[in-house]
Structure 1
Amino acid sequence: MQARVVLESAVITLAAARVSKAGLQRVEEALNAMREEHIRGGKPVDADRRFHLSIAEMAGNSVLVDMVGTLFDGRHGAIASRMSGGQETLGTWQTAMAEHESIYRALEARNPQAAAAAMCSHLLASHGRWISEPAEHVAKRADAA
């Protein structure tokens, strides 16, 4: 997750500088797919992956897209899931989607600093949920970042 924070914070800064209507639409479609899967009671991991990859695609560098995908898959793979102290619930997915909304709004505003801050905050919070870290510890780490 540390690697994801570093990489995706940089990637989204590039993406925010290169926002296109088509790129924003792909990010929004992934976010909508997450909402739909959540409403059905499922875990929207595939749409979550598309969300992060769509942002990386806007950065315009295929190597970065591959790296984001590899790191995402490592976090959601079978071995990592068994190591996780946390559980994905409808509530944790609701929180993640709210964080994704903030990321989307920063991209839509073409604000690289806000986008990077929103991504960093999301990934740190996601890590905290994954290891079942108390929310106040996640907030302290986000403030320090």
Structure 2
Amino acid sequence: GGFYDRLVPRSESDRFWLQAYVEILLELGDAWGSHGAPTKAEQYYGCARAFAEKGSLPPTGSHRIVLMHHYELLIHQAKHDQAHDVLHALKHLDTAYAPHLTTSMDQDLGLDRSNGYDDDDDDDACAEDVN
């Protein structure tokens, strides 16, 4: 359950994916905002606006970053069942799009995100729109 189910690959058009992606970014913005992190919320709103205006689908790596940030939020909120579901969605994403990433993903996760997710090595979904 949960909105990240929309990231599980389907044979839908890019338009479908873009819309789902923008909605997810907006929902993450709302979640961080209501969790007392307005700066982080504004980053997500900015990303959502940028993608909506650009009208093109982000690379698969960006999906992973959004899922990881969502995982971080859920752990922070102590919603461990939902966090587990996010990991499950990540598995789906990696298995479907890039099987060779699955092992490195497990290593990346280390299943301990208490001090946040460091995505400096990734192409951030919209770094140029956030910074």
Does the alignment reach a TM-score above 0.5? Answer: no
Give the number of the structure with larger relative contact order, counting CA–CA contacts within 8 Å between residues 6 or more apart.
1
Q: What is the TM-score of this pair, normalised by structure 2?
A: 0.44
